Structure 1
Amino acid sequence: MDEHLISDILYGPAQSLGGSGLSDENLVRVAAEEYARQDFCVVRHWLLLDVLLPEAEQSQLEREGLRATVLYAHSVVHHSSTNMGVTKGLISGYESESYGWLFRADDTTYILAGPGGRKYVSLPAINALRDHVG
């Protein structure tokens, strides 16, 4: 069951979105200057996942100033806390802010590079993806 949920997230249809068109090197350089005092992460092959939550959980998130959207990135180009990329994907916490090709969650600014997508997913699907990514 989990494999089917994960497969639908990763390979099912999604609304196409575009991130920054800058090269990885330029994005890391610009982000290091702009976000020198905070964590940032440059990602590629990403999806914004709008999580369909029960009403009580949705209300709790809203009270905390968060949105029920998480970022899944298959490719991490650079993470400021490790000074390198990571080999397997990452999934963020819930969105605190986003604009253009920037997504903020977990006190980290994620820079969305290149093409990506957006889709609605169920809570069980997100939990399966979290377990898979680890």
Structure 2
Amino acid sequence: MNLEQMVGQAWEALHGDGTPLVGCMLSEADAEAEVQRRFPRKSYCLVRNWSLIDLECPPEALAVIERSGRRPTVILAHRVVLDSALRCPPGSWIRSTFEVSRDDAGFFVSRNTVYVLLGRGTRRSAPLSVVLSIH
């Protein structure tokens, strides 16, 4: 893949059209209370302007991800509302690690963090190499 193709795929992963999804429709305060109730021992991150990205990966990489008990899906959020671990300031962006679990109420769980997907977002796919190059 040449540089122009990689830039195009990165742009698409960040800003391209996707399938509309609905996340957590609670207020920010209620969403924070709910994530603390449901996941009392985990760090959490409330986010907006998010995309659920299904990773296109080679079979070998997929096997490694699945053997670790995770799925080849990440969250890319353009706006952090609150990060309980203080890794990201409000207004910054964040990319999760691989999905461990997710529910229809807008809670996406990675190995170390619960992401509360506030409001509406999208679902799209992108190559693993492109998504991991975004930092």
TM-score tier, shorter chain, comes to 0.7 to 0.9
Q: 2:26 aligns with which of 22, 26, 41?
A: 22
Would you say 1:103 and 2:108 are equivalent positions?
yes
Q: 2:69 aligns with which of 54, 57, 65?
A: 65
The Cα of 1:23 is off from its aligned counterpart by 1.6
Which protein has the bigger strand share?
1
**Structure 2: distance between partners of 1:103 and 1:52:** 19
Letter in 1 for 2:22: G
Letter in 2 for 1:49: I
Would you say 1:12 and 2:44 are equivalent positions?
no
The Cα of 1:72 is off from its aligned counterpart by 0.4
**Structure 2: distance between partners of 1:76 and 1:96:** 20
Would you say 1:124 and 2:129 are equivalent positions?
yes
What is the aligned-residue RMSD (CA, Å)?
1.9
Unaligned runs of 5+ in 2: none
Give yes or no for contact 2:45–2:82 (8 Å, CA) kept in 1. yes
The Cα of 1:26 is off from its aligned counterpart by 2.1
Q: 1:44 aligns with which of 40, 45, 48?
A: 48
So what's the TM-score if we normalise by structure 2? 0.86
So what's the TM-score if we normalise by structure 1? 0.86
Query: Which SS does the other structure have where 2:100 is aligned?
Result: strand
**Structure 2: distance between partners of 1:88 and 1:75:** 5
Would you say 1:88 and 2:92 are equivalent positions?
yes
**Structure 2: distance between partners of 1:66 and 1:37:** 19
**Structure 2: distance between partners of 1:125 and 1:21:** 30
The Cα of 1:22 is off from its aligned counterpart by 1.4
Query: Which SS does the other structure have where 1:72 is aligned?
Result: strand
Query: Which SS does the other structure have where 2:85 is aligned?
Result: coil
Give yes or no for contact 1:77–1:84 (8 Å, CA) kept in 2. no
**Structure 1: distance between partners of 2:117 and 2:95:** 13
The Cα of 1:118 is off from its aligned counterpart by 0.5
